[in-house]
Amino acid sequence: MLFVTVPALHAQDFPKLTGRVVDQADLLSPDEEQALNAKLKKLEDESQRQLVVATISDLQGYDIADYGWRLGEQWGIGDKERDDGMILIIAPNERKMRIEVGQGLEAILPDILAGRIIRDDITPYFKRGDYVGGINAGTDKIITQLQLPPEEAAKIVQDARSSRSNDNGNDIGMLIFWLIILFFFILPAIGSIF
């Protein structure tokens, strides 16, 4: 009997999919929601790809990545065969956001690029309390990436990956630098004192 009740305790209560914008956290005015909905509808009409913006009032203790994946499955975003749906999830009370991307779009909007959009395009607005500006900047950047010719989209993805590799290289370089300082200067100096 315990095994039957445990899943019920962990069942997620997802908001209903009411349109391309699900503003459970009440971040948008009706006019702002309508304008955003029109932009997302245009993307869908032109590309057959679905992007849904969801503001969530409570992640119910779940990691946003897990919540986003489950939400996408529950809502059935995107074409089932192409797996090309996306959700921009914002949980303002928990200060979390994520762009959940179907596998069919991973080549042109991988996690590294989604993370960059959040960090560079959305977060600066959110830090100023401008949720509408951040949501619009993020959706505009996503839409632009999706509408690029495949070669250009691939180049942006490659540049993002190269940039990340260079960043990681700098971190390793700094680690090596500090280890050299530690072993050749600091430890011998401490040893000579004793």
Identify the CATH number of the domain in which residue 32 sits.
Answer: 3.10.310.50
Question: pLDDT tens digits for the chain (194 residues)?
Answer: 444 434 444 556 899 999 999 999 999 999 999 999 999 999 999 999 999 999 999 999 999 999 999 999 899 998 888 989 999 999 999 999 999 999 999 999 999 999 999 999 999 999 999 999 999 999 999 999 999 998 998 899 998 888 765 555 556 677 777 777 777 777 777 776 76
Is 50 in the same domain as 130?
Answer: yes
Domain holding 162, by residue range, is 151-194
Same domain as 85, residue 114:
yes
Same domain, 24 and 93: yes
Q: Which residues contact 66 (CB under 8 A, 6 or more apart)?
A: none
Instruction: Report which of 120, 14, 28 is spatially closest to residue 68, judged by C-alpha positions.
Output: 14
- Specify the number of domains making up the chain: 2
The residue count of the chain comes to 194
Q: Write down the pTM of the prediction.
A: 0.78
Last residue of a domain, one of 147, 166, 183: 147
What are the beta bridge partners of residue 89?
54, 98
Q: Within this chain, do residues 110 and 156 fall inside the same structural domain, yes or no?
A: no
How far apart are the C-alpha atoms of 63 and 96, rounded to whole Å?
9
Q: Given phi > 0 = left and psi -120 to 50 = alpha, else beta, which region is 125? A: alpha
Q: Please state, in angstroms and rounded to a whole number, the distance separating the CA atoms of residues 107 and 90.
A: 23
- 172 and 110: one domain? no
